[in-house]
Structure 1
Amino acid sequence: MRRKGFLTIAALVTSMVFSGCMSSTVQKNAETSPPEMKTEKVKEETQGKADSNTESKSTDAGEIGENKDAEETGEYTDITLWDGMTDGDGNTLMQALADGFAAEHGIQVERVVMKMEDLRTTIKAAINSGEGPDVFSYEIGAGYLGVLANSGLAFDLTSYAADHGWDQLFMDNAISSCTFNGKLYGIGNELEALGVFYNRATFEKYGLKEPETYEEFEEICATLKEKGELPIMVDDLDQWPGYHYESLWTNAFAGCDTMNEILALKQSFNQDKLAEGLDKLHEIVTNGWTIDAPLAMAHDDARKMFLSGKAAMYPTGTWEVATFGGEEGLGDDCGFFFLPSPSGTETSGVFGLGGSFVVNAKSDKTFTAIKFMEYMFNEENVQKWYEASYMPATTNAKIENYQISSLFMDWADSALNSEKQGNNLDVLMPTKVNEATANYMQELLAGKKTGIQCMEEKQTTLEEEVKDGNYEAVIK
């Protein structure tokens, strides 16, 4: 799960007033004056067209399957989108998608932009009050989208997806990660992976190459330490990086098949291979291969150290590809590899989804909302995702035709051709399990808990959540 510094909205804005008449507008939460939101007009070129369609398209298709005539006649209506793309290329991308869909159908797409943690804290109350969006981005997993599904707040997309071949358009995990009790409640987007970024110039200086086994990875760390370099950055002041370290080292040592069995509740976390992986992570600290106090290092500061060449490697997620491989980063000097498994075992990448798009079950505009979701991932728009340095979880990409960095091209090619994919755990775990993980990973890095103690705690907390109905088996 991607985490950054989030602004917390103190209370839900109980009434949203959208001003102006245009193809698409943005409402953005103002960090300088929370919890109010300010409205920013961004485009008005189809104002007249939208006005002329207001009366004729004021009624949406409603429940998909109950109004087939609307689907056949193409009756579209204004919709509201909430999304977490607040910055840079992501914000530009989402605005282009909203504007493009609005212009194509002569409607308005009112866009509310907010930090994901703010969206999470407001969405349930917004939907229940009738002030919620028609379509919105949300985090996957039992503790997030699963809660909305079980509460009747996320629209059941199962029938529509089956009728329109979504199993062919989207990758398996885009569908399985949003399926609860056998029904589909969203579409996972933005495929991400966890791995190790490295400085090619530093590696070349000492004649090093990407490791194929964990033992080779350790040899690289030892060599860099001997040469006076900081081999690898490990930071956890913000706590969420600990989630990723756990996923990286447990997947590397247990393997993705075992991890899938655990997520399917057929095995448990408290086993030796997973514990060994976490103990190996702690050895990086005790061997002096990272900074002396990982718990005192903030993520943003750690990134700066890596980008300035003060650390040779940095384990984190591929959402950093645009920055690390861009002109303001390391450019072509930045490489990436999956954390390798010990000799004799198969290495598989650790993958996850950055979120999903969901339709409000209480909206009366589900037809248009679903059509917008589909529009975002057609072949033309998939290219826009890639060229904005995002990788949608679809099967219709043609990356050889895209203008993307060499680092992104390497990562995308590896992902699209990966036969086995390990799991980023935190996006699939209930909230209480993640809270326990955040705490015990800090204790692990500080030497206060062993790997097996951490895994015992995770298993115990997961069993409690299963008993309380907050987690069901994830079948891959």
Structure 2
Amino acid sequence: MNIGRRTAPGPSRRDFMRLSGAAGAALGLSACGFGRSDGGGSALNVWDQFTTSPQNEAVRKVYDLYRRSAGVTIDRTTQPGDQMTTVGKTALASGTGPDVIYYEVGKGNAGVLAEAGLLLPLDDLAAKHGWLNKITPFALREARLDGKLYGLPNETETTALFYNKTLIDKSGLTVPRTFDELLSFCAKAKAKKLIPIAYGQADVYPCWWAFSLMTNNIVGGKAMGDLVFDGKGSWNTPQMKQAIQLFFVDLVKAGAFIDGLNSLHGPDAQSMFLSGKALMNLNGTWAVGAVEKGLPGQEVGIMPMPSIDGGDRVYPAGTGSAYYISAKSKRGEEAGAFLDSLYQPEALRVWVEQGKIFPPVPFDSSGWSLSPLQKQALGAAQNGGGDATRNLGYSVNHGKASPGFLNAMTSGFQAVVQGRKTPAQQADDLQKAWEKGR
């Protein structure tokens, strides 16, 4: 398989995996350095979010490839995504933070750091290393802020519904292909005392994925890209209100989720799926490794949201996080060489085969060892499992989405589920937050 350049849209996330690691890795800074460099020089300080298996082990190997080839020692620190957001800005501002930080893309995430002057623009390094001809266009689009390139995305991700076909077949049900079938599927599963979809929105981010799945199916990937990145369109159209109604009202009434889903955290929802208590899990391709490890011997697949009114089924796809260089780092050139090493052929194979991660660069995976689920995820990342121009879209929390807009989604969708706000009111509030954040 090849992931080549594509002009079709594409996006995350995805802190499900960042937050669902072992307690020792997920509760604070976990120093994973390779020691100090020979000659007394300081190591290149890198912070990333790869706290869980198999990604953590793959990242160690990728970093070690650079250490051995360049003779540079890497001092690595891992922490889950929510913690990275909390401490990253403070550490970078104080000058005690890393040389390189792996951080969420978008105006409401890395954009906050860039506006504070904490990130180094990468345009000169991009020209030196040829990144503009290597990284796929949609990934570069996500890492640009106000026309400048600030980060290098590392993961092509798609938000999706994982489904346990083994358990579904055993329950006498059929994987739904249309939204009406999904409503019926949920009601039947509920009657069998099964959880149809493992989904909870106690955390800030899962509702972003849910809304992305719905909006892309209803308005199409191109329209979502135009809205999220270029501000063309609005959030309070009839189609947006329909998206809110279908997921946060109709699916709730159909018994798709547990009662009290506003109190269920993302990692706990994933655990329900991995323990066989739920037939599906709203998650993303970043979870492939954990799913394969947690459900050995079972047939598991991924799919976009079922078709709504006969429309295309669209995966919101993108890059989630990117590697950024601190503006205060005194090792900018060295950090740039490190970033370039992450996309070299030997590193790419480790990312894909062992880390279950698909970097947004062209590569040929022929002859590589990929599981059936990995191949599905790779196909979704490459072309949405069909036609990239029709089956890939953008995530609502990327591009120009401001912190205020992100907060309006989280609190607003929780209110809709509780019946304290109508879909129309939520759509209007989203538009107001969007306009305020411009």
Bucket of the pairwise TM-score, normalised by the shorter protein: 0.7 to 0.9
2:435 — aligned with what? Answer: 463
Amino acid at match of 1:314: N
Q: Which has the larger radius of gyration?
A: 1
CA RMSD in angstroms, aligned pairs only: 2.8
1:426 — aligned with what? Answer: 397
Q: Is the contact between residue 159 and residue 285 of structure 2 (CA under 8 Å) also seen in structure 1?
A: yes
Pair 78,301 (structure 1): closer, same or farther in 2 beyond 3 Å: closer
Q: Is the contact between residue 343 and residue 361 of structure 2 (CA under 8 Å) also seen in structure 1?
A: no
1:313 — aligned with what? Answer: 280
2:10 — aligned with what? Answer: none
Report how far residue 460 of structure 1 moved: 0.3
Report how far residue 209 of structure 1 moved: 4.8
The residue correspondences of 1:44-443 to structure 2 (distance < 5 A) are 50-51=38-39, 78-205=43-170, 209-225=174-190, 229-263=194-228, 264-281=230-247, 282-326=249-293, 328-329=294-295, 331-418=297-384, 419-420=388-389, 421-428=392-399, 429-443=401-415
Amino acid at match of 2:79: M
Q: Is the contact between residue 383 and residue 397 of structure 1 (CA under 8 Å) also seen in structure 2?
A: no
Pair 408,148 (structure 1): closer, same or farther in 2 beyond 3 Å: same
1:2 aligns with 2:11: no
Q: Tell me, what secondary structure is at the counterpart of 1:269? A: coil
Report how far residue 269 of structure 1 moved: 0.4
Report how far residue 431 of structure 1 moved: 1.4
274-283 or 157-166: bigger deviation: 157-166
Tell me, which stretches of 5 or more residues in structure 2 are unaligned? Answer: 1-12
2:9 — aligned with what? Answer: none
Give the TM-score taking structure 1 as reference length. Answer: 0.79
Pair 309,201 (structure 1): closer, same or farther in 2 beyond 3 Å: same
Amino acid at match of 1:455: A
251-260 or 226-235: bigger deviation: 226-235
Pair 360,295 (structure 1): closer, same or farther in 2 beyond 3 Å: closer
Q: Is the contact between residue 230 and residue 289 of structure 1 (CA under 8 Å) also seen in structure 2?
A: yes
Q: Tell me, what secondary structure is at the counterpart of 1:424? A: coil
Report how far residue 380 of structure 1 moved: 1.1
Q: Is the contact between residue 379 and residue 396 of structure 1 (CA under 8 Å) also seen in structure 2?
A: no
Report how far residue 42 of structure 1 moved: 4.7
Pair 249,133 (structure 1): closer, same or farther in 2 beyond 3 Å: same
How far, CA to CA, are the matches of 1:129 and 1:288 in structure 2? 48
CA deviations on 1:348-380 (whole Å, 9 max, x unpaired) are: 211132310011223222111111001011111
Report how far residue 250 of structure 1 moved: 2.0
Q: Tell me, what secondary structure is at the counterpart of 2:54? A: helix
Q: Tell me, what secondary structure is at the counterpart of 1:120? A: helix
How far, CA to CA, are the matches of 1:330 and 1:279 in structure 2? 36
How far, CA to CA, are the matches of 1:228 and 1:217 in structure 2? 16
Report how far residue 136 of structure 1 moved: 1.6
Q: Tell me, what secondary structure is at the counterpart of 1:232? A: strand
How far, CA to CA, are the matches of 1:360 and 1:164 in structure 2? 18
2:6 — aligned with what? Answer: none
Q: Number of matched residues? A: 414
